[in-house]
Amino acid sequence: MTESLAAGPPAAGHAVGRAAAGPAALDARRKLQLALGVIWVLDGILQYQPSMFTASFPGMLAESAHGNPAVVAGPITWSANLIGHHVVVLNAIFATIQLALGLGIAWRPTVRLALAASAAWSLAIWWLGEGFGGILAGAASPVSGAPGPVVLYAILAVLLWPADRDPDAPSVAGRFIGRRPAQAVWLVLWGSLAAFALLPASRAPGAISHMLTDSADGAPAWLAWIDTHARTGEGGLTWAAPPGSLASSRPRASPSPSTAPAA
Amino acid sequence: MGVAMAGMLVSGLRTLPSTIWEAVFAAGAAWFGYRMLQARRGIRPSPWRTSHPLPHLVECGAMAFMFLILPAAAPAEGTAGGMSMTMTATQSRFSFLTLPLAVFLFGYVVWLGDRVALHVPALATATGDARPVTGSGPGSGSGYAATPYYLAPRCAVICKITMGITMGYMLILML
């Protein structure tokens, strides 16, 4: 297994030699790692917003338990209650962790540690903050963020791991896990998005319009404007099931809180 | 810039009127814009000048933007805890600028973090020569990077990172 440029802490002599040759050039994988770092920094700063230090944050987490099996919903409710009792301290810790993940990915000596922590933290948020994106609740829809944006961070952390098992892979994603597994991940991701789009939660009349309305609520003016206009255009789409069908008789499930916690 | 940001965040730390800060940062933006143009023309920067003027241009522009958008907020709404960074409906028309500005600054922060480990050895081997580089990064338009002359390079980078995070936070508060 060969190591890439961005792999782990450099030896002192190597670092001096590299510096003497000028700042190290960024390869494609390192650029993508830094992009992941930027997203984590942005998440951390969003988590520091004053509104996240209020009861609305644990309330948003608790909503993700709705519709999930008890074994999934129980820990979500427990963590939401815990956060509700110590919202200031715990939210500050969460925000700091996410900021540290971003900076840790940026700082080369800690890139491996930060990527591993990034994957673990993402999976924890995916469960406790997003309720697995509503997949098990039957409420998953690409419009509401399913299968959950934060799970993509975990996938990226694995795909961008700084080691080369297949250095000749045609894409960066295949260099660590191999080209076939990378293609499988890509297929599962887009296949699941297509499948979620066909679920009743997405096909019910007005479902997408409701999701867009929910997205616009509390959003900045320019984002709300986009959602509003998208909602207007959605009226002409043919995703909606015909009246009287099974899909149209199904009650609309609550959208997944895809942004919780600020991911 | 740090003093100006402290004054925006905490009303008790205000030192100068907003109009003066606007002029200062507008002048800074003009200067770094000029330096950008020079870099585009391939003019080598002198060793004590930054070889990456773009982030400084954006930082000055972001500060001027924030002072222009929130001109009267500080004295009117400032409380013991600090000023309100929320905008009125009219001002929020420009809020679409805050997110890209913040993302750029976070990108700069992460890029600086990537470079932290490289600065100290560079200083140890400093010769004072500007040399061609092949790396990419914010503002790398000249094709030359001057050897850093900081006495405390890591401290300087950490200060820049702190400033970038704080400014990004202020922009996010304006969303």
Whether residues B133 and A221 touch (CB distance < 8 A) is answered with no
Q: Which residue has the higher pLDDT, A151 or A2?
A: A151
Distance of CA A181 to the CA centre of its chain: 20
Within 8 A by CB and 6+ apart from A162, the residues are A3, A4, A6, A7, A8, A29, A33, A111, A112, A115, A176
Reported ipTM: 0.77
- Is the CB of B118 less than 8 angstroms away from the CB of A25? no
Average model confidence (pLDDT) across chain A: 80
* Average pLDDT of span B87-116: 84
Taking CB atoms and an 8 Å cutoff, what residues of chain B touch A15?
A: 117-118, 121
Q: Are A240 and A203 in contact (CB under 8 A)?
A: yes
Nearest of B54, B7, B3, B9 to residue B174 by alpha carbon: B9
Q: Where are the domains of chain A?
A: 26-205+241-249
More confident residue, A167 or B84: A167
**A110 chain-B contacts, CB cut-off 8 A:** none
Whether the per-residue pLDDT at B72 is higher than 60: the answer is: no
Residues of A in contact with B169 (CB under 8 A): 45, 48
Phi, psi for residue B81 in degrees, rounded to 5: -80, -30
Contact with chain B for residue A163, Cβ under 8 A: no
pLDDT at A242 over 50: no
Which of the two residues, B150 and A231, has the higher pLDDT score? A231
Whether the bond into A261 is cis, omega within 30 of 0: yes
The token duo for B7 is 């004054």
Secondary structure letter of residue A11 according to DSSP: P
Element (H, E) at A210: helix A207-216
- How far apart are the C-alpha atoms of A65 and A61, rounded to whole Å? 8
- CA B23 to chain centroid, in Å, comes to 16
CB-CB under 8 Å, B115 with A23: yes
DSSP for B123-151? HHT--S-EEE-----TT--SSEEEPP--S
Q: Quote the tokens at residue B59.
A: 């930082």
Q: Of B9, B92, B114, B119, which to mutate for an interface test with A (greatest number of A Cβ within 10 Å)?
A: B114
Q: Rounded to an integer, what distance in angstroms lies between the CA atom of residue A163 and that of residue A63? A: 39
Looking at residue B86, what is its pLDDT? 58
Report the number of distinct structural domains present in chain B: 1
Higher-confidence residue of A19 and A203: namely: A203
Per DSSP (E only), the strands in chain A are 2-3, 163-164
User: Do residues A127 and A137 make contact, with C-beta atoms less than 8 angstroms apart?
Assistant: no
Q: Of the ranges A59-63, B48-52, B91-95, B125-129, which is most confident?
A: A59-63
Amino acid at B154: R
Report helix, strand or coil for B117.
helix
pLDDT, tens digit (0-9, with 9 covering 90-100), for A50-109: 999 999 999 999 999 998 999 999 999 999 999 999 999 999 999 999 999 999 999 999
For B101, the domain range is 2-173
Give the Cα separation of A208 and A240 in Å (integer): 9
